[in-house]
Amino acid sequence: MATYIQIDPTQKLDPFKSVKKLPLEEYFTSGHRTCQGCESALVMKMMAKAAGPRSIILGSTGCMYVANTTYYSTSWVVPWMHTQLGSSGSAALGTSAALKVLMRKGKIKNEPINVIAFCGDGGGADMGVGAISATLTHAEYNSLILMYDNESYANTDIQLSGSTPWGANTTFSSPGKVKRIMHRRWKKNMAGMMAAGHPECKYVATICMSYGLHGMNSIRKALAIGGPTFIHSLDPCPKGWDYDPYLSHEMGELAVNSGVWPLYEVENGLLRLTGRTEQIAAGKIRRVPVRDYLLKQGRFAHFTNDDIDYFQSKIDDMWEKWLIPGVIPFRRDVEADTPPSS
């Protein structure tokens, strides 16, 4: 196979050693209309910083398009293009293929250019899974798809998505007097799904920009490794999750430290827990109770103690009973699931 597939060289993107070593330039600038404290905007900023100037960024519809780039204005200093809600995968693949052709024909200079397509959880985990999956099978095209997951269709006013956690209050699942828990599905395991099902994809990772250096270095690794890659980032959203914006950063830390959001990477088929998650797994730090995470957010304000306990038990399951804790959800034994009655 290797003889047929021509993998183009990528940029050399060594990990940033420390915050002090970051480039000073911003390729995503201020003046955008994301909410105060939007962590997805922080992901955009860090993603652009990590990728550097020779990058093309493609964005599917959602907050990170609408709030950043409407009215003929843009926060992007690097070339940027909007794409359809479900088509981040197609845009990445097509752009990468087009660059390859232009370079082969000598119409543009032959140089490694980062192609990054981002999508929200609605655009990625729901609508765009097919296109993303297809892109991840094309080993000869270098691209990164970054799914910024604010756990709802935020831009159209916080509708439930496949990524919304169990029980959360969204405009499609508001708790009422008769029924308390309106959303009874568990969050899609997008990164695990992409890693497990795409043998051509050399790099899949989960990140959270509350750990900025870690997140940026994952992005650099994904871009440097070659071929199609995928990163899933969890982004606290003050509006959708209903908390005071100043807590944004802390919310991400809590997601990771409570074990709700495990950080890992799968590089050439090799799984590694990373960052704080690695420390939790090694027993160096203890997981904080999910209660501390949930009760800071208005979207879980209707939770009873039973609901919180149930949520905690599912997270404990994930850590203790999954085939690969936090990554592959299969179990060896069948057990009864007993959610609290709503």
Partner 1 sequence: MSTKGTRIPDWLKVPFAGITPGPSQDKGQNLFPTGNWRSIRPVYRDKLPPCNNACGTNEKIQGYLDLVKRGKYLDAYALIKEDMPFPSVTGRVCYHPCEQACNRGKYDEAISIRAVERFLGDLGQSLKHDVVEAGPSNGKKVAVVGSGPAGHSAAYQLARIGYKVTILEKSSKAGGLNRGGIPDWVLPQHILDREIERLIELGIAIKTNCEVGKDVSWDDLKRDYDACVLAIGLTEPNGVRAEGEDKEGVLYGLPFLRDIGMGTSKVKLGPRVAVIGGGNTAIDCAREALRQGAIEVTMITVEANTDEMPCSPEDLHDMLEEGVDLWHGRALTAVLGAGKVETLQLHPARFSGAINASPITINRNVPAERFAVDNVIIAVGQRASIDWLPQEFKNERGTIKIDRFGRLGDTNFFAAGDIAQFGSGQPLMVVNAVGDGKRVAFNLDKALRGEPLQPRTVAVDVIMDLNRMNMTYFPHFPRAHQSMLSPVTRRKTQVEVIQGFSEKQASEEAGRCFSCGTCNACDNCYLVCPEPCIARPERSNGLYKILVDYCKGCRVCIEECPTGCLEGVPELDFDTGVVRMDTAFAISPGLHGRQAEELLNLASRPAKDI
- The reply to whether 279 sits near partner 1 by the rule CB under 8 A is no
- The reply to whether 305 sits near partner 1 by the rule CB under 8 A is no
Q: How many angstroms separate the CA atoms of 248 and 180, rounded?
A: 26
Binding residue for partner 1, selected from 26, 157, 292, 306, defined by CB under 8 A: 26
Smallest distance from Mg ion to CB 170, Å: 10
- Which partner from the list Mg ion, ligand SF4, partner 1, none does 121 bind, CB cut-off 5 to 8 Å by kind? Mg ion
Both tokens of 113, joined, read 């250019």
End-to-end distance of the chain based on CA atoms, in angstroms? 54
Q: Which range in 34-42, 53-61, 72-80, 294-302 contacts ligand SF4 by CB under 6 A?
A: 34-42
The DSSP element (H or E) to which 117 belongs, if any, is strand 114-120
Smallest distance from ligand SF4 to CB 298, Å: 13
- The reply to whether 287 sits near ligand SF4 by the rule CB under 6 A is no
- Which partner from the list partner 1, ligand SF4, ligand TPP, none does 270 bind, CB cut-off 5 to 8 Å by kind? none
What angle do the packed helices 248-257 and 39-51 form, to 10 degrees? 80
212 phi/psi in degrees, rounded to 5: -60, -45
Nearest Cα to Cα of residue 166 among 326, 13, 307, 332: 307
Smallest distance from ligand TPP to CB 268, Å: 29
- The reply to whether 154 sits near ligand SF4 by the rule CB under 6 A is yes
Q: Is the dihedral of CA 278, 126, 55, 199 positive or negative?
A: positive
Nearest Cα to Cα of residue 268 among 339, 220, 198, 342: 198
Q: Which range in 31-39, 213-221, 265-273, 312-320 contacts ligand SF4 by CB under 6 A?
A: 31-39
- The reply to whether 237 sits near ligand SF4 by the rule CB under 6 A is yes
Look at the chain and count its residues: 342
- The reply to whether 123 sits near Mg ion by the rule CB under 5 A is no
**Looking only at Cα atoms, what is the longest distance across the chain?**
66
Nearer to Mg ion, 127 or 308 (CB): 127
- The reply to whether 42 sits near partner 1 by the rule CB under 8 A is yes
- The reply to whether 247 sits near partner 1 by the rule CB under 8 A is yes
Both tokens of 10, joined, read 């990528």
Q: How many angstroms separate the CA atoms of 280 and 288, rounded?
A: 10
- The reply to whether 61 sits near Mg ion by the rule CB under 5 A is no
Residue 189 vs residues 196, 210, 220: alpha-carbon distances, Å? 11, 20, 23
Nearer to ligand TPP, 39 or 121 (CB): 121
Site for Mg ion in 218-277 (CB under 5 A): none
Q: Which range in 6-14, 107-115, 148-156, 304-312 contacts ligand SF4 by CB under 6 A?
A: 148-156
Binding residue for partner 1, selected from 50, 55, 63, 76, defined by CB under 8 A: 76
Residue 228's beta-bridge partner residues?
A: 143
- The reply to whether 39 sits near partner 1 by the rule CB under 8 A is yes
Q: Is 336 exposed, middle or buried (0-12, 13-18, 19+ CB in 10 A)?
A: exposed
Q: How many angstroms separate the CA atoms of 160 and 183, rounded?
A: 8
Q: Is the distance from CB of 304 to CB of 340 less than 8 angstroms? A: yes
Binding residue for partner 1, selected from 1, 12, 30, 109, defined by CB under 8 A: 30
Which residues contribute to the site for partner 1 (CB under 8 A)? 19-20, 22, 24-34, 36-39, 41-42, 45, 71-77, 212, 238, 245-250, 253
Which residues contribute to the site for Mg ion (CB under 5 A)? 120-122, 150, 154
